[in-house]
Amino acid sequence: MTRVLVMIPSGEVYDHNNVRWYSHQDIQRNLNHYHNIGDAFVFDSSLKLLKYDRLETLTIREFNPAEVDRLRDEFDYVVLRGSNYIHGEMDWEMAEQVLRRLGLPVLAFGIGAQAPVDGKLVLSDATKNVLRLIAGSTTSVGVRGAYTAEVLEDIGISNTRIIGCPTAFRHNDPGLRITLPEIDRIRKVGLTVRREVSPAYARDIRQYLTFHRDLIKSVAARFDTVLMAQGELEEKKLVLGTPAQKDQAISSLRENAWVGEWYLDDDIECLYRNSMFYSDVVADYDACVKACDLVLGYRLHGNLMALANGVPALYFTYDSRTREFAETFRIPSFDVFSEKVFRLSDYWDQGLFDRFNRAYEATYYAMGDFLSENNVPHVMRERAPVQQRKVVALM
């Protein structure tokens, strides 16, 4: 019997290994609460790769020694859901005290670092202490890419393994391949939108938003387009809100100095009102991307969800996180701050996606090896044994 604690979950679990946001049916309760449903993609995908019989949350907001002792006796290991934890503003609350007393292995399942636009990443002592505790508890630390491994190396953590993100492997298919259809056969396109962005990570907000706006308009002019949101409040209200809440959302967007000037024009408003998709249930995103012939845009996990379902996807990179994802999986990508002009035809090259196909397979097996070397029961498939040629000795 395998019993697992989850540290920093992102949603409620149902039917053993499926995730949706808490009280997802109470739309009004959640409409004014920001949560990135992409985090739930990672949580859901992680559970789909693990074998376990019991699941419970490890609370780090408070330190209750008696409760921690109970959990130590009743559980086998902890999963730290992959996310962007390694940055200068991360608040680990009481995690250090909890983990020190708990003493269980903590599986870092694809964690990542975020680089600032200017200067070197500076981590707090609390972050360093927690990361060192985690690294010391297991054979290896699962990171999403080379940059994160370098950041951890700088603080003395060398037992990293690059495993990408569980979202890519949510359907547990090491043979997954992206095969491009003829571009003239593309009818429906999903565009993952990220209207909110921080100047700490995107170096030119005006260019970011104007490029984003023009991309949406050009894609919508050519294809049947669905805009896929992942949690921004105004976008959620435009999908799930009352008519009054939808109008209020548009007013709020127009009143935002950056958005009103560089992003929201009449065409974008029309698309926002009529072509936006959002859900608090992860499985709904599987269905959404499966209905598309192509997905492109800004969202790490929204694009990765498409690839996991065999749908071609392109990344638009604007910070260290998006670049690291694209580099790990060799996903075709376009830098929104480059001086180049984006043309879809330039990326409609099977050779580019064959690079992804090879990286996907290699990273799939790297993740399986990572779980095995940390003694974590899982459902990922083993590498096929290399057939040995028979050698006949001539006597």
Q: Residue 48 has what pLDDT?
A: 98
For the chain, the domain total comes to 2
- 119 pLDDT more than 80: no
Q: Residue 247 has what pLDDT?
A: 97
* Domain annotation covers residue 381: no
141 and 256, same domain (yes or no): no
196 and 64, same domain (yes or no): no
189 and 129, same domain (yes or no): no
The answer to whether 249 and 237 have CB atoms below 8 angstroms apart is yes
Longest dimension (CA), the chain: 90
21 and 130, same domain (yes or no): yes
Q: What is the pTM of this model?
A: 0.94
* Domain annotation covers residue 385: no
Domain that holds residue 290: 183-350
* Domain annotation covers residue 114: yes
Q: Distance between CA 293 and CA 313 in Å, rounded?
A: 9
Question: SS3 for the chain, per residue?
Answer: CCEEEEECCCCEEECCCEEECCCCCCHHHHCCCCCCHHHHHHHHHHHHHECCCEEEEECCCCCCHHHHHHHHHHCCEEEEECCCCECCCCCCCCHHHHHHHHCCCEEEEEECECCCCCCCCCCCHHHHHHHHHHHHHCCCEEECCHHHHHHHHHCCCCCEEECCCHHHHCCCCCCCCCCCCCHHHCCEEEEECCCCCCCCCCCCHHHHHHHHHHHHHHHHHHCEEEEECCCCHHHHHHHHCCHHHHHHHHHHHHHCHHHHHHCCCHHHHHHHHHCEECCCEHHHHHHHHHCCCEEEECCHHHHHHHHHCCCCEEEEECCHHHHHHHHHHCCCEEECCCCCCCCHHHHCCHHHHHHHHHHHHHHHHHHHHHHHHCCCCECCCCCCCCCCCCCCCCC
* Domain annotation covers residue 395: no
119 and 164, same domain (yes or no): yes
167 and 221, same domain (yes or no): no
Q: Residue 116 has what pLDDT?
A: 86
Q: Residues 209-230: pLDDT tens digits?
A: 999 999 999 999 999 999 999 9
* Domain annotation covers residue 389: no
pLDDT category, 383, cuts 50, 70, 90? confident
166 and 116, same domain (yes or no): yes
- 387 pLDDT more than 80: no
247 and 131, same domain (yes or no): no
User: Which percentage of the chain shows pLDDT scores above 90?
Assistant: 91
User: Which percentage of the chain shows pLDDT scores above 70?
Assistant: 97
* Domain annotation covers residue 237: yes
142 and 231, same domain (yes or no): no
Question: Mean pLDDT, to the nearest integer, of 181-203?
Answer: 92
Residue type (1 letter), 47 = L
95 and 151, same domain (yes or no): yes
Residue type (1 letter), 5 = L
Tell me the CATH number at 294. 3.40.50
* Domain annotation covers residue 340: yes
* Domain annotation covers residue 383: no
Q: Residue 392 has what pLDDT?
A: 45
Q: Residues 144-186: pLDDT tens digits?
A: 999 999 999 999 999 999 999 999 999 999 999 999 999 999 9
The answer to whether 143 and 160 have CB atoms below 8 angstroms apart is yes
269 and 330, same domain (yes or no): yes
Q: Residues 45-104: pLDDT tens digits?
A: 999 999 999 999 999 999 999 999 999 999 999 999 999 999 999 999 999 999 999 999
Interacting residues of 10 by C-beta distance below 8 A, sequence separation 6+: 19, 35, 36, 39, 40, 42, 43, 81, 83
137 and 237, same domain (yes or no): no
- 120 pLDDT more than 90: no
